[in-house]
Amino acid sequence: MDKQNSKYRWIVFTAVLFTYFLIVSQRTAPGLITDQLMKDFNVSASAIGLLTSIQFLAYASLQIPIGILSDRYGPNLFLIAGALLNGLGTLIYSAAPNEFVLLISRALVGMGDATIWVNLVLILGQWFRVKEFVGLLGFAGMAGSLGFLLATYPFSAWIAWSGWRTPFFTVGILLCLCGFLLYVVLVKRPNQLFKDHPAAVQTEQQRENTFLMLKRIFSDRQAWATFFCHFGLVGTYVGFIGSWAVPYGMQMYGMSRSQVSQLMMIGLVGAIVGASLTTWIANRLESIKRPYMVVHLVVLVSWIAFLVFGGKPPFFMLAVLFFIIGYGNGASALTFAAVRQSFAMREVGVVSGFANTGGFISAILLPSIYGKVLDHFQPVSSGAGYTYGFIIPVLFAALGVMGGFLLREQRKESSKASGISV
């Protein structure tokens, strides 16, 4: 039986996307309790920034190694291990007695999260035809956005009802169960159904070429273009939503936690629309660069608007800005469409990891720097810290625009090598 023509591939798709949905929710859910953590553990804004950054530091530092190992040994076991590690970290977070344990738990979550997207891209490449790939990336982006959506009003209401520890404990249990589900769906059942199940281990000759492959990728303009595209769209959104959006809304607009979470939902609706609509437009235009450049420029203008209005735009405009910035995050699925289009399949894992590193280096830097700005402009209630803090996402989004300019459309020589046509 051919995997790419089997009905079973949709079971794989559903199991992987459900796991991704839960994992993504834990990237920003801690941002809902930023002020509570500061009170409960008596920590500063800088410490909260570090707590957020350590998760994304673990994520970003492992992207390229995970990409290399997944290209070599296959994505299944890494995806399973990542779900289990993420679940374990979330469980520890729910029971943390002090800020040190919080830090360790977020590092574990980041390590588990690091395995997810790269291997999701590889699994979609294995189970689905090339013509299906870009559209399915849009659905994967939507699943991630729904995960972020879970970590807004629904999670906020749950926290208000039961306290913050119970929701994180429950999600941790679910993630551990997802790890076992993925083992059955990706390993046990396919071994029974498909006799041509590919061997995970590649040849010795391919292993010896890893250094040369990395050297070529690190000097490749297209790889750096995808790195900066992701840096400008993903890190600014995830870094801000995951750390400072809730206190920003509460202190600058006097909103409740629940009201801010509803505002964040507007951004997540934008991300859902951005993931599906932008990949559809790219398919219709048979171009990745043109729609992606428009997205980058509009997101840059949106971050500039925060500065123009002194960090406090009118509320209606604030809702629109959140929607646009969220749309950009959803549209970032085009980064991996560009990777799949431009590089041979044997390199897709490591280049996807490299591109993804860009987004999460940005997500590491933004919360930490933003927290230092807030600490510098005390008292926080004055709003000056938030105003000057928006310089950071403006600069990061400008690097994303640069990545868009560097991005090239399909390179014929690479496409022929990998058998890709878009």
**What integer is the mean pLDDT of 188-196?**
74
Model confidence at 113: pLDDT above 50: yes
pLDDT in tens, 136-152: 877 888 888 788 778 77
**What integer is the mean pLDDT of 149-167?**
83
**What integer is the mean pLDDT of 171-181?**
94
Asked if CATH classification 1.20.1250.20 holds for the domain at 3-193+203-418, the reply, yes or no, is yes
Model confidence at 50: pLDDT above 50: yes
**What integer is the mean pLDDT of 397-420?**
69
Tell me which of 335 and 44 has the higher pLDDT.
335
pLDDT in tens, 9-43: 899 999 999 999 999 888 778 877 777 777 777 77
**What integer is the mean pLDDT of 302-306?**
94
Percent with pLDDT over 90 in the chain = 26
pLDDT band, residue 103 (cuts 50/70/90)? confident
| pLDDT for the residue numbered 73 | 83
Model confidence at 198: pLDDT above 50: no
Confidence (pTM)? 0.73
Give domain limits for the chain.
Answer: 3-193+203-418
| pLDDT for the residue numbered 382 | 57
| pLDDT for the residue numbered 209 | 64
pLDDT band, residue 180 (cuts 50/70/90)? very high
Model confidence at 246: pLDDT above 50: yes
Amino acid at 175: L
Amino acid at 248: Y
